[in-house]
Amino acid sequence: SQQGEEDPQALSIQEGENATMNCSYKTSINNLQWYRQNSGRGLVHLILIRSNEREKHSGRLRVTLDTSKKSSSLLITASRAADTASYFCATVSNTGNQFYFGTGTSLTVIP
Amino acid sequence: NAGVTQTPKFQVLKTGQSMTLQCAQDMNHNSMYWYRQDPGMGLRLIYYSASEGTTDKGEVPNGYNVSRLNKREFSLRLESAAPSQTSVYFCASSEDPGVDTEAFFGQGTRLTVV
């Protein structure tokens, strides 16, 4: 399986704190993406980082990528209750035409 | 914009019954995908279609068939449902994944096989 893995599986924090989740993957990639899934809904794209990039920001999101370690992290700063969701990383290999999703991190932000 | 539309949203089947999950996208995407989501397993690719007229197996294709009816529509068929196919099914579409594009997802079909 080329599926990635997120760590931790579950994370519970207080509103206002930062949330960090990590993703490890197995193959050489073209890019890595992060998605969010609210309970009972489909996944929604958050941010994409290319294989030649090391860090990217979008609003309260910060993504890092270390291709030598085949890992990425997603930081959500100043978390809000509305950030409660599952977060998935997805990779696109540089030889493939598929998205490979990780196992997800379930984030709970306590008001 | 409708994006990716899946039908039905919920379905209960008896073991051995058949059904087709429908998916349509209005973004003129070439690539379409069917995933299943199970607790602790993340999303696993069942089948995908890189363009109209082509389909390829993903990680977990056994027990499923697909049809890329036209550029807009990609259906998933369970010929003889089994309890192991109880899952949430997602359809997605995208431009060519090799060109830094994102996947767009439908709302999912929650299938229970009893």
How much is the pLDDT for A27? Answer: 85
How much is the pLDDT for B1? Answer: 63
Read off the tokens for A79: 């978390």
Judge whether A91 is closer than 8 Å to chain B, CB to CB. no
Choice between B40 and B10, residue whose per-residue pLDDT is larger:
B10
Q: Predicted confidence band at B98 (pLDDT cuts at 50, 70, 90)?
A: confident
Residue partners of A61: CB distance under 8 A and separation at least 6: A34, A46, A47, A74, A75, A76, A77
**Element housing A101 (H / E):** strand A100-101
CB atoms within 10 A of CB B103: 28
Each residue's pLDDT tens digit, A2-27: 567 888 999 999 999 999 999 999 88
Interface test with A, best of B54, B57, B102, B104 (most A CBs within 10 A): B102
Each residue's pLDDT tens digit, A41-97: 999 999 999 999 999 999 999 999 999 999 999 999 999 999 999 999 999 876 667
How much is the pLDDT for A16? Answer: 97
Read off the tokens for B107: 């709302």
**What residues of B are in contact with residue A21 (Cβ under 8 Å)?**
none
How much is the pLDDT for A1? Answer: 56
Residue partners of A70: CB distance under 8 A and separation at least 6: A24, A25, A26
**What residues of A are in contact with residue B40 (Cβ under 8 Å)?**
9, 103
> Which parts of B1-114 are beta strand (E)?
4-7, 10-13, 19-25, 31-38, 42-49, 56-57, 64-68, 74-78, 87-94, 104-105, 109-113
Q: What is the mean pLDDT of chain B?
A: 94
For residue A5, the distance in angstroms to the closest alpha carbon of chain B comes to 9
CA–CA dist A90, A85 (Å, integer):
16
Q: Indicate whether A32 pLDDT > 90.
A: yes
Residue of A2, A9, A1, A5 lying closest to A72 (CA atoms): A5
CA–CA dist B19, B37 (Å, integer):
18
Q: Indicate whether B6 pLDDT > 80.
A: yes
Q: How far is CA B70 from CA B31, B55, B65, B104, in A?
A: 11, 12, 16, 18
- Taking 3-state DSSP, the helix, strand and coil percentages for chain A, each rounded to the nearest 5, stand at 5, 60, 40
Each residue's pLDDT tens digit, B46-94: 999 999 989 999 999 999 999 998 999 999 999 999 999 999 999 999 9
Residue of chain B whose Cα is closest to the Cα of A45? B102
